[in-house]
Amino acid sequence: MTIYFDIFETPYGWMGAVASEKGLLRTTLPQPSPEDCAAQLGESLDGAEPDPERFLPLREKVTRYLNGEDVTLADEAIDVEDASPFHQAAWKACRSIPKGETRTYKWLAAQAGKPLAPRAAGQAMARNRLALIIPCHRVVASDGSLRGFGKGASQLGLKQRLLDLENRAEQLPVGR
């Protein structure tokens, strides 16, 4: 199976993406440099071929999203067949959260078929390898507070920025 990748600049920094023929395998959150993206993509780049053309539609969509335009990333094809059934179910449920809204880890666990496993839902989000495509920034604690994002608490500011961005986009008039 051929694997492809691209690292591209966005309004929030550099992002990386890796894909198979079936869909996206991995994306990064915005990073300060292309080298930081490559480091985060790690072994998923082994044997991968650079193919910026393949990722042009994704690049354009992510850029528009990060510029605050009302676009969705939920229709991007993903390839997560190697993940556990629970992670797949949690990621699918996460992708169903409407832009500009949040849900709790408890809700996510219930949607994934394990209502008593909100911590497991949290672990599924912690292992989310498709940042923005699987919008784990929309998942919050039961009290509404922000919890882990992007490899720990250091990225909670970005989580809040993404939620604010989506809320602004939802308030824009149609046709903008």
Q: Give the separation between CA 122 and CA 10, rounded to whole angstroms.
A: 27
Residue 122 near residue 90, CB atoms below 8 Å:
no
Which of the following is catalytic: 80, 112, 136, 162?
A: 136
Distance CA 6, CA 12 (A): 16
Task: Note if 37 is an active site residue.
Answer: no
Residue 8 to residues 53, 77, 132, Cα–Cα distance (Å): 11, 19, 15
Give me 53's structure tokens: 């053309």
Going by C-alpha positions, the residue among 50, 44, 45, 10 that lies closest to residue 30 is 10
Residue 61 Cα distances to 14, 102, 154, angstroms: 14, 21, 26
Whole-angstrom Cα distance, residue 23 to residue 16?
Answer: 14
Residue 171 CB neighbour total at 10 angstroms: 9
Give the catalytic positions in this structure: 136
